Every structure is written in C-alpha cells, then in structure tokens.
Amino acid sequence: MRMPPKTKQTTILIPLGLLLLTLPSPQARAVRELAKPLAFISNQFAGSKAACVSRVVEREINPAAYQGDEKTVFIENKGMRATNEQRLAASPCLSALAVRFYQDLNQNHLSSQRPALKEVAGQGERRHLKPGWLWDKAIDLTRGNPRLAMALINICLNDDIPNATKKIFVRMDRDEASRIKKTYAEYGSEQNKKTDPKWSMLTMDRYLSYLKEFKESETPGQFDVPVDLICPERKNEAFVPGSLSLNTDLPEEVKKTIIDLQSLEPAAAPLPAKSYHVYGSAALGCALSNCGLNETEIRSIHDKMAMVYRGIRLCAHTKEVNQLRKDLEKAGLKRQTTGQREKFLQTLTSLKTQSDFFDLLPGRKMEGYFALTSDITQSQKNWRDNAPERKKAILRLLTLMDAGQMYEDGNLFKDGALPCVFATYTGPQLQGEETLKGSFFDRALYGNGCRQKGWSQQRCDEAAKLLQTWEVDELWTRAQHIRGGLFGFQKCKASQTEEKDFEKLSCALIRDQAGQKTPLPAQDGQK
C-alpha cells in the first residue's frame, strides 16, 4: 500500500473507545498496526462488555503512544510505559510506594545472570526464593490490596529493559523532605565532585535542579519532592519464573519443547525467562476483572493480545530481513545458486568492520541492520582473525534470509500467501498452552518436499527449522499471556478498588508508614 506524502495528515478512526487520532502518516503507521487487531479483540463482545474491554485495553495498552514505526510496539513498550508515567505524574503517594518497592528489589534481589526460562523460584540456584515471593512483597506493601499491588508490579516489570531513570514526585512529611533536601545539596556540591571523580557534572546539576522543585502539597505539613525511580535491570530476581506464582510458570514439558526448538546450537546461552510478558498480562487481567468477563473470555483476550504482539514483531522482523536480502542482491550478492552463495561467503568473510559491511549497501544503508549483522561485523581483533567463527555467522545470516524469503513467498500456508499480521491475530485459538499446538504454520508442508524453486532439501530444512523457532516464540508468548492474565483476573475480581482510589489508598499507606526513610540513589556516579 502506497503511503501518502509525509506532510499529509491521515485521520484514523479506532473503534477502540472511538478514539479519533489525527497524525502525520509515518507516525500513524504503528498506531494502525496495533489498533486494528485491538479493535478485533474488543469487537468480539457486545454491549457493556465491549465498551468496558475497549476502555480498559485503550487505557492499559495505550495505542496512541505508539507514534513511530511498528518496532515501538515491542522494543520500547511505549504504551504501557506512557500509561504508568501518567499515573505516577498524578500520584505522588503512589510514586512513594513505587520508589520503596523498586528500591527494595534493586538492593536485595540482584542476580549475577539473567533469569532463564528453565529456572523456577524455590528450586535449584533459585531455591532461596519462595514461590510467589514477588506477589507477597507487593501485597505486604499495599496491606492486602491486589489492584494496588498489581499496579506497583506493572510500573516497571512489564519489560526487562529498564527505562531511563525517571524523575517522579513523592509525597513525604516535612522532616523527610528536609533530610532529602540536605542530601541533594551534598550531591550537588563541588566538594562531592572532588571526593568522587565519577560523580559527573551532569549528575550534580540534576540534583541542584531538584532542589528548586520541592513544593508543598495540598496536605498541610507534607511536600511533593522530586526523586529518581530506577527500574530493575534484566538480571534482577524479580524476573525468575514463579516469582509471581507457580501458576504463572509454564509446565516443565512446555519449557522443554521451547528450549529444544529454540536452541539451534548446543553452546547457546540459556533462554531468558521473559517474565515481563506474564507481568504485563497480569496487570491487564486485573484491570479487565471489572468488565463482567469469565475466565474463558479472559483467556481468549490474552491469547489474541499475544498474537497481536507477536504478529507485529514477526512482521517487522521478516520485513527487515527481506529488505536486507534485497539490498545485498542490489549490491550483487545473490544467494540462489551454489556459485552465488560461494561468492556471498567469500565477500563477507573478507570484511573486517561494520563499516566495510555497510559500504556494500546502497547509500550505506545502516538503520535496522546492526542487530542482524552484529555477529559478522564486530570489530574486535580476535573475532576478525577467527575465520571459522566468521563463516558460521555468515551461514546463519544466509539461513536467516532464506527463512525470510520462505515466509514472504507464502509457502508456509496451505492456501498460499496471507497478509503478515492478519495471519497471526486471526489464526487458530490455542486450546491449551500445555500442548503448544494450533499454530498458523502448515507443518504438513515439510513432509511434502521443498516448494522453494531451485533450493536443495537441506537448504529448505535449515530455513524451516529457523522458522520453527519463530513459531514457538509466538506460542511461548501466548502461553505466558494466558497464565498471567488469568492470575491477575483471579486475584482482582473480588476487589472493589478502582483506579481512581489508588492515590487516596497510597496516601493512607504512606501516613501509616511514617518514619520510614525514602530510599535515595547510591552516591556512585552511575545514575
């Protein structure tokens, strides 16, 4: 579909809550990609259910925040992040709870390695963690309120790529505000820079500016004070499977299926847990529990939400892979025949740096290709001198481009090519996540020989095997979304708390916890 000129305005009507957006066309693309399938999800209901689902999904997923290319749906998680930032900006007491919750995780639950899919709280190297410990911690802090606890968990843990340090305003009493004011003055002093050279001028200036932003709240004797909220890194124990509940962890046989299909090389690093899918879905399930839905409907919504996410991600990935393939073909590097593949290998094996690689592309086109080619184009000397490893990396790239072409050609579908995202979010229902069946891929294809013209069976099989890893990614995400969504729904359905109550409840909790010091960032110069 040809896009209108950049200066033209495109009006998009999103049935999701009748949200009307008028955006420049390039910015509107990602919103359209997300809004169409989200509308498909809410439109399966009628009446008050449909209105409630639309309203909740619109608020929690926040499609209007995805104003850029489709990668913002899965790289930046902009929508949920924007929603949480809006909540915190309007809620200094909720912000105070969030700072305490995440400072505890950052200080007491550091880990030496990223939590893996094969792990589980209470077992093996994670045996010191009680199953459900993260939920218990949030429930204890919120005095048993499941909706407030879920809101705290969702602020940071819907992603394991920590956002930049965020300044939020935290409600506190006069004595606590005075203590922090004194600390900020020390952080911003020239003497501090002399005693710790790592303490940068930028950091000092930030805290000096914070000193000017202290303000009295509407509650006598209390102040709203600027404080840094630092989200946990991906190595944090909060992402260990089973931390929310053993019911949110995948069964052992499902994990084995995923690991067997995803581990193309024996020496590959353990697969990450990706527990952020569970946490984000739990928050959505909690929010949907006021919509009069049953568990079957919650399962269906979260199944489709996962299909939307994976569909957009898969489409963006295959588009990028196929564009790289076409750009290299324009540069004379084709890969159809044996001779062409030999030339491809020889040319890329001779490269020494990323810059050499991009010199091959029309207009030195670099954007989007770093991740696809990083293991070929790393500039470290020991890598440049390791020809066997370089050859393996180039062969992986060849297989990646074969997989992209096979997907684009439509030979994975019984009835020929299907529109990319459409095929995923209207695909078969996942009847039970334990089975890992019901994929939109046509498994029977592989038994009928290779349909790619001119390809050997081995080449076809290698591309198909890679595509299986993409397939199991979708099913893995769907299983996590279903389990997380059901957990949030079950925990919150009996609660009468509404979002408008969050700040009042948080302020009451802060008053009850008076005397506890608000945690501050360590003076290490790394913030």
pLDDT > 90? residue 127: yes
pLDDT of residue 305: 86
Q: What is the pLDDT of residues 270-305, one digit of tens each?
A: 899 999 999 999 999 999 999 999 999 999 999 888
Give the H/E segment covering residue 228.
Answer: strand 222-229
pTM of the predicted model as reported, rounded to 2 decimal places:
0.81
Band (461; pLDDT cuts 50, 70, 90):
confident
Token pair recorded at residue 391 = 């050859």
Distance of alpha carbon 377 from alpha carbon 19, whole angstroms = 44
Distance of alpha carbon 488 from alpha carbon 155, whole angstroms = 15
CB 51 within 8 A of CB 70: no
Whole-angstrom distance between the N-terminal and C-terminal Cα of the chain?
Answer: 45
pLDDT of residue 52: 93
- Write the DSSP string, 69-94: SGGGGTTT-HHHHHHHHHHHHT-HHH
Residue 226 phi, psi dihedral angles, 5° rounding: -70, 125
Distance of CA 269 to the CA centre of its chain: 20
- Write the DSSP string, 13-40: EETGGGEEEEEEHHHHHHHHHHHHHHHH
b/e string for 18-51 if b means 16 or more Cβ within 10 A?
ebebebebeebbbbbbbbbbbbbbbeebeeebee
CB 389 within 8 A of CB 372: no
Band (259; pLDDT cuts 50, 70, 90):
confident
Beta strand spans in 79-143 (E): none
Could you say which DSSP state residue 116 is in? B
Taking the CA of residue 10 as centre, how many other CA atoms within 13 Å lie in the half-sphere pointing to its CB? 17
Q: Which residue has the higher pLDDT, 439 or 205?
A: 205
Q: How high does pLDDT run on average in the chain?
A: 77
| Mean pLDDT on 439-447 | 42
pLDDT > 90? residue 205: no
pLDDT of residue 23: 32
% residues pLDDT > 90 (the chain): 31
CB neighbour list of residue 256: distance below 8 Å, 6 or more residues apart? none
Q: Which residue has the higher pLDDT, 379 or 253?
A: 253
pLDDT of residue 190: 62
Strand order, beta sheet including 222-229: 166-173, 222-229, 215-216
Band (515; pLDDT cuts 50, 70, 90):
low
Q: What is the pLDDT of residues 324-350, one digit of tens each?
A: 888 888 888 888 888 888 888 888 877
- Closest by Cα among 388, 337, 348, 347 to 372: 348
| Mean pLDDT on 381-386 | 55
pLDDT of residue 439: 43
Could you say which DSSP state residue 367 is in? T
CB 306 within 8 A of CB 433: no
Side chain identity at 61, as an amino acid letter?
I
Residue 381 phi, psi dihedral angles, 5° rounding: -60, -45
